[in-house]
A and B are shown apart, each in its own frame.
Chain A
């Protein structure tokens, strides 16, 4: 998030009224405030997810028991934005051989002004106007063999793009 362009402009018009006929008459004037909010999308990451292995050690996922999704918030000032989750390109940290024959996936659910349930990576979903809370899941699946012991890190990108 973060390409945000919010400009406020303040214009003040002062009006003075006078009357020689009735000096005690009430006078009033409007002070005008002008404001402009451009269409804006703000993505803020709240927490990192946790990957957990399944019983067969062929799946590392936030959806497995012991795993947890990451979370993020998105604030939009127009309905002219889409949400997209990139398919993970691979582990950014792993033990030797940890990425052999592995396929990756990501999914997202949304609450707030946007309602989404387990949308898979690559799909575009329209964002509502205002605050959306995202839960972001990631999965790595091994085609053959098991994940070797070690520490794994699987990055996922959440994108806000004009529709």
Chain B
């Protein structure tokens, strides 16, 4: 889940997929961060929140201006399990992508 995106413009786009490993429908959110875990300005996901049936895979685009940091983390996070008292745990899986702006 590492990759390099090359672009001749000041913008980029990439298509990513996420799967639901649970046997129940789950809701997920997409977070975009730089390598210092800070939000990346002017970069967004086409679907920041989505639900997936059990075992299904969904796709979404991440696009925007080439970030100054050149590297972004795309993290997909499941909802917290359980409500009520206790210590709910949620899972987050990140991909690491370098955005390279090529010279024409």
Residues of chain A at the chain B interface (Cβ within 8 Å): 1-6, 38-45, 47-51, 62, 69-72, 80, 92-93, 136-138, 151-162
Q: Which residue of A lies closest to B92 (CB)?
A: A159
- CB interface residues, B 63-89, toward A, < 8 Å: 73-78, 80-89
How near does chain B come to A136, taking the closest CB pair, in angstroms?
5
Give the size range of B's interface with the partner. 20 to 34
How near does chain A come to B47, taking the closest CB pair, in angstroms?
14
10 contacts between A and B (CB under 8 A): A2-B21, A3-B93, A4-B93, A5-B17, A44-B21, A45-B90, A47-B81, A48-B81, A136-B87, A155-B88
Contact count A vs B, C-beta below 8 Å: 143
Contact B93 A43 (CB under 8 A): yes
- Which residues in B have their C-beta under 8 angstroms from that of A5? 1, 16-17
Question: Chain B at the A interface: mostly helix, strand, loop or mixed?
Answer: strand
Q: Which residue of B lies closest to A50 (CB)?
A: B86
Contact B95 A3 (CB under 8 A): yes
How near does chain A come to B78, taking the closest CB pair, in angstroms?
6
Measured between alpha carbons, how far is A42 from B18 in the docked complex, in Å? 10
